[in-house]
Amino acid sequence: MKRTKVLVFILICIWTWVFLHFENNFITITKITVESPKLPDAFDGYKIVHLSDLHSKEFGKGQKNLVEKIEDAQPDLIVFTGDLVDSRHFDADVGLELVRQIVKIAPTYFVTGNHEWCSGKFEFLES
């Protein structure tokens, strides 16, 4: 009985590690279509890529995997709604490399999140 409990505990730990690794390293794409008679005709087929909470994560060398997904989407606009960096493991270079590339794809707008503010390096990221 004790051996079974240990085995179950080990399996739960392995499953949890696999789940967390997948959740933190997989790029999730959700497509949402908005239809409204209030939208001008100019927005018919308009594509917006929304990025958020990357927390200094690197998706392939030089952000290649994420940049390719953004390019494939052929957006008209890119918005990044905070947490480009992680306040505990601050690495602005990873996030800034992404920004340097995506601004070439489409107009890009960035709003800071709590991790930019908590990093204490907020001014550095403003420039």
71 sits in which H/E element: helix 64-73
Q: Is 11 inside any structural domain?
A: no
| Mean pLDDT of all residues belonging to the chain | 82
The CATH number assigned to the domain holding 88 equals 3.60.21.10
Q: What's the confidence (pLDDT) of residue 113?
A: 64
Per-residue pLDDT tens digits for 64-77: 998 999 999 999 99
Q: What's the confidence (pLDDT) of residue 76?
A: 96
Q: Is 12 inside any structural domain?
A: no
Which of 23, 81, 12, 26 has its CA nearest to residue 48?
81
Per-residue pLDDT tens digits for 90-124: 677 787 888 899 999 999 998 776 556 665 665 65
Q: What's the confidence (pLDDT) of residue 69?
A: 93
When divided into structural domains, the chain yields a total of 1
pTM: 0.73
The domain in which residue 80 lies consists of 29-126
Q: Is 15 inside any structural domain?
A: no
Spatial separation of the C-alpha atoms in residues 37 and 53, rounded to whole Å:
32
